[in-house]
Amino acid sequence: MALEAGVKYAGLKPEDVNAQNMLGAAYMNMGKFAEAATAFDKAVSLKQDDVNSLRNLGKALTMSGQSERAIEIFRKIASLKPADFETYFDLGMASSYAKKFNDAVDYFKQAVNLKSDSVPALMSLANSYLSIGNREAALEQYKTIKPLDSVAAEILLTRINK
């Protein structure tokens, strides 16, 4: 139902950024990431520096297996919003999907510097450290996470001790 409404609305307003974003969101909610990327790409073509459209496109590209292009998109957002936690978190995620774990570490560090109590960013940083074989750095993240979220910390510790 939501997809049908999104398709209809986007069809009625093909030059409307919001309509394209709504269509992309409907596709994302259905797990149709390539179709979502197409809709978000259209939104970006209509308004090239719209951070919302760019972020949506980057996330859809990441989920559709196009991490390299997603990284380019998120880097563009970082140039528009240099101190944005979500952008660096998204860069870390896209880099992880691309198996560029050293880059992921750098981006997650930047995200954590902007929001030091973000358990998802801390966990992602720790997991990236583990992916490059840096158990000691992952253990340091465990120590930071433990007072914030003991359950997440125990999950991480189990992974570290594998």
- Which domains does the chain carry? 1-82 (1.25.40.10), 84-162 (1.25.40.10)
Q: What is the pLDDT of residue 5?
A: 60
For the cut 80, the answer to whether the pLDDT of residue 136 exceeds it is yes
Model pLDDT for residues 44-68, shown as the tens digit of each residue? 999 999 999 999 999 999 999 999 9
Alpha-carbon dihedral 96, 101, 102, 105, rounded to 10 degrees? 60
Q: Is 12's pLDDT higher than 60?
A: no
Q: What percent of the chain has pLDDT over 70?
A: 91
Task: Please report the pLDDT score of residue 9 as a whole number.
Answer: 52
Confidence of residue 15 (pLDDT cuts 50, 70, 90): confident
- The DSSP string of the chain is -HHHHHHHHHHH-TT-HHHHHHHHHHHHHTT-HHHHHHHHHHHHHHSTT-HHHHHHHHHHHHHTT-HHHHHHHHHHHHHHSTT-HHHHHHHHHHHHHTT-HHHHHHHHHHHHHH-TT-HHHHHHHHHHHHHTT-HHHHHHHHHHHTTT-HHHHHHHHHHHT-
Q: Average pLDDT, whole number, for the chain?
A: 93
> Closest Cα to residue 72, out of 89, 94, 50?
94
Res. 43: pLDDT tops 60: yes
Q: Is the pLDDT of residue 7 over 90?
A: no
pLDDT attached to residue 115: 98
Per residue in 91-134, pLDDT tens? 999 999 999 999 999 999 999 999 999 999 999 999 999 999 99
Q: What is the pLDDT of residue 2?
A: 59
Distance CA 141, CA 120 (A): 11
From the centroid of its chain, how far is CA 96? Answer: 10
**Could you give the angle at the alpha carbon of 116 between the alpha carbons of 114 and 119, nearest 5°?**
120
Average pLDDT (68-88) is 97
Model pTM score: 0.90
